[in-house]
């Protein structure tokens, strides 16, 4: 590990935030250049290289843009900043862990992992409820409690007390967090919905649907001992009876001032709403409740919120799936002592832009710098290409649509097989093992493969087979299901109705239940496959799971398909289904196609394995009967890079030393150290070479259990030595 310090640097070919720099922009003009200088490499790493999910969110800052269409009265969403729209009409919605949708999905991942149950047994609705107005308001209430606690401590301390400044810093942070909720109207809608319910259905608390107007009272005992509830006299019986005090008065003023400072065109209603939300006190309830207007507003808010949330989910789902993919990539590296920590370099540009003839030279110049030098810190070993088109035909065309059915829509943002081929053809000399997965949806899930098999995926990969680059292409199936399509519905709330007597209640009619559907959330298998492969490259990762590990070697020779390796090096993802039938498994085993995940029931030494495991880890290089395991390509790549380093770029005399029988030669050391699970050479493996003096070529032969892989390297001759024509 002293020479090659990492074997898991990964390149992600995906656009995350078009407003941030991408790798092509950073590389710049490469005419007349063969490689990039150190300063340029440092700049690229600073902007695009991440070593954790948190760092990814911080550096790339994924965002969705919202704006209003005055003609339609609708909210619009875009992943690209809209042009020709004034900046003050555009709201940036950061997709970080504070975003309710992303936060809900991350919580769902963690909840599934904690329970370890299949999709059919998991109660998705409990977690989906997190993005309902009611749950969002609960989060706000927690923020409110923390602000009130901090402010109380702040005002009680003397101005000269140093601790007051500490509380002031904390208050600034808390107000900043709160301001994200009232900085734009859309974020205020859940608050407005719950605020209206609080004022109109005071005392309802979902236990009773409507009825008499609530009147506050006090429990007392009459002269004869009889229990009585006496009505409290109020100036306005629709006001909340809460005692005000100096502290809360100060908070009210602080929120009013903060709201006005952050909004160029402040709204009295929204300002009061902010104050009511964060300071629910009697003094904030200054006006009489117009029940009819409030009911009308509530129903309008609810409908607008549902429509906006629906449109938001549709717009943001492709990006959300990429973000979750990055999280899943890093989640695979679960170790106590971090060693060779996986790092991800985000290209931040679409694949179709990357493979244009005018742009490819920039990428190749970058790879010349990372992969063609005897400095291995920046060497790229893996790549991820998600969302490759599948183009499944949906049967014959209907003459007449009789019932509402699925409308097959072209999914935007997918990568074509042609572009993937162009990429692989270009980067093949750099020996980058590239994991790709098909576009997300119901047709690429565990459920689909369990019933339909892998035939469609194998057929789709035919253009990538029998090519020079085939050994570096790894199709990954099936995609991960975060929320199944049929379990992605959630009830936002119910519409409100008012009877002739002015009593307000939540409607019990089915058509008045406001429900939205996320239409399923999925993540490409390439993220998980690259993540788990990058994880087992680290000796510390392997050491925590196996006994016979050498810290001298990376995990390039680790064969996940051998023995119980897959069970001990399981993924972080929870099993989704009860498993594949024997017929499906037989079809997968027949040729060993692809990087296939398994959701089968399994045990190891009496312990149940509740996580998804790797069933096959193969590329598209075939020996005629079956596809090759990815470890063979990784070992050959590792040997090639070690040979290049120790031979001074393939000098003949040094190559002879590398392969000599001297006990200190690199080959001898590998030969003598075969007992570890990550040894470069293991039982049945052989390493040999021949030199073609005429043409100045060294043929390196690496044999794995009777199958031989050849590696040709061009010798570097000393001056005066002849090379054949």
The separation between CA 511 and the C-alpha centre of its own chain, rounded to angstroms, equals 35
CB 477 within 8 A of CB 454: yes
Q: Please return the burial class of 356, using the count of CB atoms within 10 Å of its CB with bins 0-12, 13-18 and 19+.
A: exposed
Q: How far apart, in whole angstroms, are the C-alpha atoms of residue 13 and residue 413?
A: 12
Name the strand (E) or helix (H) holding 106. Answer: helix 100-115
Q: Give domain limits for the chain.
A: 100-203+246-306, 664-724
Q: What is the pLDDT of residue 639?
A: 96
Kindly tell me the sign of the dihedral angle through the C-alpha atoms of 174, 178, 180, 184. negative
Q: What is the pLDDT of residue 414?
A: 87
Q: How far apart, in whole angstroms, are the C-alpha atoms of residue 97 and residue 313?
A: 16
CB 320 within 8 A of CB 521: yes
105 closest CA partner among 321, 401, 266: 321
**Placement of tokens 């009061």 in the chain:** 272
133 closest CA partner among 198, 195, 190, 180: 190
Q: How far apart, in whole angstroms, are the C-alpha atoms of residue 208 and residue 547?
A: 62
Q: What angle (nearest 5°) sits at the alpha carbon of residue 529, between those of residues 523 and 530? A: 105
Phi-psi region of 540 (alpha: psi -120 to 50; beta: other; left: phi over 0): alpha
DSSP structure class, residue 703: E
Q: How far apart, in whole angstroms, are the C-alpha atoms of residue 164 and residue 53?
A: 34
717 closest CA partner among 659, 653, 640, 660: 653
Q: What is the pLDDT of residue 236?
A: 43
**Placement of tokens 């990055």 in the chain:** 326
The separation between CA 119 and the C-alpha centre of its own chain, rounded to angstroms, equals 19
Q: What is the pTM (predicted TM-score) of this model?
A: 0.87
Q: How far apart, in whole angstroms, are the C-alpha atoms of residue 84 and residue 71?
A: 16
Q: How far apart, in whole angstroms, are the C-alpha atoms of residue 561 and residue 565?
A: 6
Q: What is the pLDDT of residue 191?
A: 76
Q: What is the pLDDT of residue 203?
A: 44
Q: From residue 622, how far is each of 370, 462, 588, 704 by CA, in Å?
A: 29, 12, 14, 15
Instruction: Give bridge partners of residue 685 from the DSSP assignment.
Output: 704
Splitting the chain (725 residues) into consecutive groups of 10 residues, what average pLDDT does each group show? 91 96 96 94 97 97 88 85 86 87 90 81 81 80 86 88 90 84 69 79 49 58 63 48 58 87 78 77 52 86 87 92 97 93 97 96 97 94 96 52 53 84 97 97 93 93 96 97 89 88 87 88 97 97 94 96 94 90 89 93 87 96 91 96 93 94 94 94 93 91 89 77 46
Find the DSSP H helices in 618-677. 630-646, 652-659, 666-672
Find the DSSP H helices in 481-536. 525-535
Q: What is the pLDDT of residue 189?
A: 78
Q: From residue 307, how far is each of 314, 407, 596 by CA, in Å?
A: 11, 19, 38
CB 569 within 8 A of CB 560: yes
Residues contacting residue 57 through CB under 8 Å, at least 6 positions apart: 95, 96, 97, 323
């Amino acid at each position: 590990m002293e020479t090659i310090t990492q074997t898991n640097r990964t390149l992600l070919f995906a656009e995350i935030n078009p407003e941030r720099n991408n790798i092509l922009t950073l590389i710049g003009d490469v005419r007349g250049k063969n490689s990039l200088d150190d300063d340029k490499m440092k700049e690229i790493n600073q902007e695009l290289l991440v070593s954790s999910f948190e760092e990814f969110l911080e550096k790339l800052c994924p965002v969705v843009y919202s704006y209003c269409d005055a003609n339609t009265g609708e909210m619009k969403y875009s992943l690209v900043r809209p042009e020709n729209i004034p900046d003050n009409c555009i709201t940036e919605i950061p997709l970080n862990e504070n975003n309710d949708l992303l936060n809900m999905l991350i919580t769902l991942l963690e909840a599934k992992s904690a329970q370890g149950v299949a999709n059919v047994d998991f109660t998705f609705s409990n977690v989906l409820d997190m993005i309902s107005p009611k749950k969002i308001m609960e989060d706000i209430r927690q923020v409110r409690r923390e602000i009130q606690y901090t402010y109380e401590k702040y005002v009680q301390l003397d101005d000269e007390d140093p601790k007051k400044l500490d509380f002031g810093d904390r208050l600034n942070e808390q107000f900043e967090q709160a301001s994200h909720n009232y900085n734009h109207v859309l974020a205020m809608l859940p608050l407005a919905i719950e605020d209206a319910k609080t004022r109109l259905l005071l005392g309802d608390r979902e236990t009773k649907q409507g009825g008499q107007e609530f009147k506050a009272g006090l429990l007392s005992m009459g002269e004869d001992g009889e229990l009585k509830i006496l009505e409290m006299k109020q100036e306005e019986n629709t006001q909340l009876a809460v005692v005000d005090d100096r502290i809360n008065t100060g908070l009210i003023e602080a929120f009013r001032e903060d709201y006005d400072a952050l909004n160029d065109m402040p709204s009295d209603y929204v300002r009061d709403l902010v104050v009511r939300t964060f300071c629910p006190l009697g003094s904030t309830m200054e006006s009489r409740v117009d029940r009819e207007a409030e009911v009308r507003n509530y129903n309008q808010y609810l409908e607008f919120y549902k429509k906006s949330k629906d449109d938001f989910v549709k717009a943001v789902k492709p990006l959300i799936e990429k973000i979750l993919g990055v999280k899943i990539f890093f989640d695979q590296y679960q170790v106590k002592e971090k060693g060779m920590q996986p790092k991800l370099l985000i290209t931040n540009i679409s694949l179709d832009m990357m493979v244009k003839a005018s742009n490819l030279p920039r990428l190749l110049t970058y790879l010349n710098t990372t992969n063609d030098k005897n400095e291995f810190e920046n060497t790229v070993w893996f790549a991820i290409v998600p969302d490759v088109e599948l183009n499944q035909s949906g049967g014959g065309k209907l003459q007449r649509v009789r019932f509402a059915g699925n409308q097959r829509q072209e999914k935007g943002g997918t990568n074509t097989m042609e572009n993937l081929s162009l990429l692989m053809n270009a980067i093949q000399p750099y020996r980058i093992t590239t994991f790709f997965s098909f576009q997300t949806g119901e047709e690429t899930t565990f459920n689909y493969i369990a019933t339909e098999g892998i035939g469609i995926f194998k057929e789709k990969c035919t253009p990538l087979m029998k090519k020079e680059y085939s050994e570096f292409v790894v199709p990954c199936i099936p995609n991960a299901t975060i929320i199944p399509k049929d379990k992605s519905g959630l009830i936002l709330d119910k519409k409100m109705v008012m009877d002739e007597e002015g009593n307000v209640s939540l409607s019990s009619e089915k058509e008045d239940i406001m429900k939205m559907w996320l239409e399923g959330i999925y993540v490409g298998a390439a993220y998980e496959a690259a993540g788990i492969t990058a994880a087992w490259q680290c000796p510390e990762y392997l050491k925590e799971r196996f006994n016979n590990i050498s810290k001298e070697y990376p995990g390039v020779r680790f064969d996940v398909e051998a023995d119980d390796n897959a069970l001990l090096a399981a993924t972080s993802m929870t099993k989704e289904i009860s498993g594949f039938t024997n017929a499906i498994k037989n079809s997968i085993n027949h040729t060993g196609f692809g990087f296939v995940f398994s959701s089968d029931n399994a045990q190891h030494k009496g312990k149940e394995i509740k996580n998804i495991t790797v069933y096959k880890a193969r590329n598209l290089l075939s020996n005629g009967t079956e596809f090759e395991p990815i470890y063979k390509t990784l070992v050959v790549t590792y040997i090639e890079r070690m040979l290049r380093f120790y031979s001074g770029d393939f000098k003949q005399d040094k190559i002879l030393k590398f392969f000599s029988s001297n006990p200190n030669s690199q080959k001898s050391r590998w030969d003598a150290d075969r007992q570890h699970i990550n040894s470069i050479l293991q039982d049945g493996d052989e390493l040999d070479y021949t030199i073609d003096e005429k043409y100045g070529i060294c043929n390196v032969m690496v044999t794995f259990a009777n199958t031989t892989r050849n590696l040709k390297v061009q010798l570097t001759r000393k001056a005066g030595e002849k090379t054949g024509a």
